Structure 1
Amino acid sequence: MTDTNTENPETPIEPEVLVEKKKRKKSSKLLVAVIIILFIILFFVLGFGYYFYKNNVGTNTVYQEQIETLTDKLDSQTARLNSQLQQTKSSNDNVKTQIEQLNIQLQDSQNKSKLYNDDIQSLRRAVAETNIRHPSDWILAEVEYLINLSGRKLWLEHDLNATIALLSTADQRIVEMGDPSLNPLRRALLEDINMLEALPSRDVDGIILSLSSLERRIDTLMIAGLTMSEAAETDTKEVSTDISDWETNLDRSWDSFIESFIVISHRDKPVEALLSPEQAWYLSENLRNHLSKAEFAVYREQQEIYDIALQGALKLVSVYYDMGDKSTQQFYNAIQKLSKETISIDYPDQFKSAPLLSHILKQRISKSFTIESAE
């Protein structure tokens, strides 16, 4: 037994090596199989990925093209709608402008129609006036003219006498007609005349001539000069010749010496200063300005301005001119007399006879027109 084991020392080791070799072969085969399987899987994964990528890219491209197509269609439709909207707006503006023009034309037509109607009425009235059947009615037109003229004389020229004369002439023309139906008109005319005669009369020409005469006399007035009141007399003491009065003579000499330096004069009245030639000229012009202002106030019937101007003239004369002079005193009295004059008169706003006469004329013309239409 011992010899057998010694001669074949590798016999028991051989099966283990074979087993290990077999294991190695199996492991290498398994590894190769795993690698092959991995390659196959990787190949399938790459193929599937490539296929999926190609399909997705194609699909996205189609979708993108569809989106771009829809966007282009939407843009074109939006542009078309905007164009239609602008055209509609322009059409509305044109329609609105046409409506405004039609309204203006309609207004013009209405105004022209109104003017035509007024012209027709005027023509009808003119025809009726020319066909008045009573010749005496023409006198009423003359009476209307006289009343209108008297109104202009009163309110524009303030000529009261001429106004009364014109209304009296109109009354005489009504008397000549001998129409009893015109008695209310004549009564209104007489009331107007009596109202005007009751107004205070004013002599405009006389006042203006008086003021102009006073203006020419201004340069002849005597301006108050420097008047010195007499100083109070002081007692003068003479030096006596008696030697025993030497003390008294000394005091008097001393007082006389002192008074030669300072002289005090006592006066009971204030001393008025003299005016220079330039100041005297300004004084005369100022007085003349007051009188001229009063003249303008007479023409315009502005009583307040007239009174203020004459009061200013009276103040200048009393303060700066010699009131002891007879001419100055007469000048002052003349201004004072003029200051009492009334130059403003409250005239009536309307004659009572004017609306009554207008009503009578309308009645007669309407009656005449009615008769002409009936015929």
Structure 2
Amino acid sequence: MQLGLMLLLLLVSVTALSMAWYGQRRVRTLEQELVRRQQDSAGQAAEAQLLAKQAQELSRDAVAKVTLTESRLAEITAQRGQLEELIQSLSRARDENLVVDIDAGIRVALQQTAITGSAAPLVAALKAADERLARVSQPRLEPVRRAIARDLDRVKAVSVADIASLAIKLDEAARLVDEAPLQVLDPQRLAEAKAPRAVARVAPSPASAAASAAPVGGLRAELGDWWQGLWAETRTLLRVTRIDQPQAMLLAPEQGFFLRENLKLRLLNARLALMSRQFDTAQSDLQAAVAAVDNYFDRGARKTQLLTELLRSVVPQARQAGVPRPDDTLAALTTAAAGR
């Protein structure tokens, strides 16, 4: 029994030793595994530290890049603002130069209109200004275009005297002065009137021819023929003319030349007055010319009628027609130049 107990003890001891060895081996294996894992953890920690360091460096680089990008973006934004301001400044300068140029052109056209008396320079300047504004197509300049349209309508509605056509009519009237007949006899007509004419003889009738055989009948026939011849000759020395203007009777035939020359000088003065835009002087000379034609020229003659029609057509046209100032356009240009 003791042997069995010893065997049992021995078995227990062996079993305990086996278990101890196995446990020690297990512990050793665990220690080795723990060391290995600790080494792996240390490696991973080192790798993680390296990665963290790299990530930190990348983060710093990213922050630097972001900072640089932001600074460049801020610089680009500032440059863009400056560029936009410069573009706006250039646009305003261009608009201001355009406005000043248009204003100067219209004022020069006003001076030309005042000198020539014609609305053509002002109309041309307003049309050119409207075309330039249409090409620019700037909304802030639209009030100027509307003002130009209103002033154009006002200027075109005014009828201005056509000086060139009036001058041509006066030249034609001066030519007709030499051709129109006077109410008194001209020297040429007076010479024709004083020229000897053949005396008309009255042929004796058959009854008087039969009575001429007697001496008394022949004497009466001769006296009758002499009286008829004397009467016919006397009629050639007389001229009966109806003169409606009494002052025409005071004009001698030899003075007709000076009357025509004086009338032509009147017409020439009227022409010069029209060319220099002195419409009051032109009206005075034209009225005097019309009165002279009515008083001293033969109204029934065709040339006189043509001369009168020419003069009467020139009189109502030779008047001062004031060209309206483009005040709306000038005011709109001033407002646009002020930037309002």
The CA deviation string for residues 291-332 of structure 1, in whole angstroms up to 9 with x for no partner, is 122213323444433333222112212222222322222112
Distance in 2 (alpha carbons) for counterparts of 1:349 and 1:147: 10
Indicate the SS of the match to 1:340.
coil
Q: State whether residues 301 and 343 of structure 1, in contact with CA within 8 Å, keep that contact through their aligned partners in structure 2.
A: no
> Residues 210, 197 of structure 1: CA spacing in aligned structure 2 closer, same or farther, 3 A cutoff?
same
Tell me which of 133, 138, 162 is aligned to 2:121: 162
Indicate the SS of the match to 1:184.
helix
Equivalent residue number for residue 99 of structure 2: 140
Tell me which of 167, 186, 199 is aligned to 2:158: 199
Calculate the TM-score normalised by the size of structure 1. Answer: 0.47
Segments of 5+ residues of structure 2 without an aligned counterpart are 1-87, 194-238, 244-248
Q: Which amino acid aligns with 2:252?
A: L
Q: Which amino acid aligns with 1:344?
A: Q
> Residues 274, 139 of structure 1: CA spacing in aligned structure 2 closer, same or farther, 3 A cutoff?
closer
1:190 to 2:153 alignment: no
1:215 to 2:174 alignment: yes
Residue 136 of structure 1, CA deviation: 3.6
The CA deviation string for residues 105-154 of structure 1, in whole angstroms up to 9 with x for no partner, is xxxxxxxxxxxxxxxxxxxxxxxxxx942164233333223222222222
> Residues 302, 205 of structure 1: CA spacing in aligned structure 2 closer, same or farther, 3 A cutoff?
same
Equivalent residue number for residue 287 of structure 1: 263
Q: State whether residues 146 and 166 of structure 1, in contact with CA within 8 Å, keep that contact through their aligned partners in structure 2.
A: yes
Distance in 1 (alpha carbons) for counterparts of 2:308 and 2:104: 47
Q: Which amino acid aligns with 1:192?
A: D
Q: State whether residues 290 and 308 of structure 2, in contact with CA within 8 Å, keep that contact through their aligned partners in structure 1.
A: yes
> Residues 175, 133 of structure 1: CA spacing in aligned structure 2 closer, same or farther, 3 A cutoff?
same
Once the two structures are aligned, what percentage of the paired residues are identical?
A: 22
Q: Which amino acid aligns with 1:219?
A: D
The CA deviation string for residues 57-90 of structure 1, in whole angstroms up to 9 with x for no partner, is xxxxxxxxxxxxxxxxxxxxxxxxxxxxxxxxxx
Q: State whether residues 290 and 313 of structure 1, in contact with CA within 8 Å, keep that contact through their aligned partners in structure 2.
A: yes
Equivalent residue number for residue 272 of structure 2: 296
> Residues 178, 315 of structure 1: CA spacing in aligned structure 2 closer, same or farther, 3 A cutoff?
same
Distance in 1 (alpha carbons) for counterparts of 2:288 and 2:117: 27
Q: Which amino acid aligns with 1:223?
A: L
> Residues 151, 132 of structure 1: CA spacing in aligned structure 2 closer, same or farther, 3 A cutoff?
farther
- Tell me which of the two structures has the higher relative contact order, counting C-alpha pairs closer than 8 angstroms and 6 or more residues apart: 2
> Residues 185, 281 of structure 1: CA spacing in aligned structure 2 closer, same or farther, 3 A cutoff?
same
Q: Which moved more, 1:283-292 or 1:297-306?
A: 297-306
Distance in 2 (alpha carbons) for counterparts of 1:306 and 1:190: 34
Distance in 2 (alpha carbons) for counterparts of 1:344 and 1:306: 10
The CA deviation string for residues 130-185 of structure 1, in whole angstroms up to 9 with x for no partner, is x9421642333332232222222222332312210111110111111111111211
Indicate the SS of the match to 1:222.
coil
Tell me which of 275, 280, 284 is aligned to 2:252: 275
Q: State whether residues 267 and 285 of structure 2, in contact with CA within 8 Å, keep that contact through their aligned partners in structure 1.
A: yes
Calculate the TM-score normalised by the size of structure 2. Answer: 0.52
Residue 273 of structure 1, CA deviation: 6.2
Q: Which amino acid aligns with 2:260?
A: S
Equivalent residue number for residue 363 of structure 1: 339
Tell me which of 112, 125, 130 is aligned to 1:171: 130
1:351 to 2:308 alignment: no
Equivalent residue number for residue 302 of structure 2: 326
Equivalent residue number for residue 336 of structure 1: 312
Distance in 2 (alpha carbons) for counterparts of 1:220 and 1:209: 17
Equivalent residue number for residue 310 of structure 1: 286
Distance in 2 (alpha carbons) for counterparts of 1:304 and 1:181: 45
Q: State whether residues 110 and 121 of structure 2, in contact with CA within 8 Å, keep that contact through their aligned partners in structure 1.
A: no
Distance in 2 (alpha carbons) for counterparts of 1:306 and 1:297: 5
Q: Which amino acid aligns with 2:166?
A: I
Q: State whether residues 184 and 253 of structure 2, in contact with CA within 8 Å, keep that contact through their aligned partners in structure 1.
A: no
Residue 205 of structure 1, CA deviation: 0.3
C-alpha RMSD of the superposition: 4.0
> Residues 339, 157 of structure 1: CA spacing in aligned structure 2 closer, same or farther, 3 A cutoff?
closer
Q: State whether residues 136 and 177 of structure 1, in contact with CA within 8 Å, keep that contact through their aligned partners in structure 2.
A: no
Q: State whether residues 183 and 297 of structure 2, in contact with CA within 8 Å, keep that contact through their aligned partners in structure 1.
A: yes
> Residues 330, 349 of structure 1: CA spacing in aligned structure 2 closer, same or farther, 3 A cutoff?
same
Indicate the SS of the match to 1:352.
helix
Indicate the SS of the match to 2:327.
coil
> Residues 164, 217 of structure 1: CA spacing in aligned structure 2 closer, same or farther, 3 A cutoff?
same
Residues 229-248 of structure 1 aligned to structure 2 (within 5 Å):
none
Residues 61-80 of structure 1 aligned to structure 2 (within 5 Å):
none
Residue 342 of structure 1, CA deviation: 4.3
Q: State whether residues 204 and 298 of structure 1, in contact with CA within 8 Å, keep that contact through their aligned partners in structure 2.
A: yes
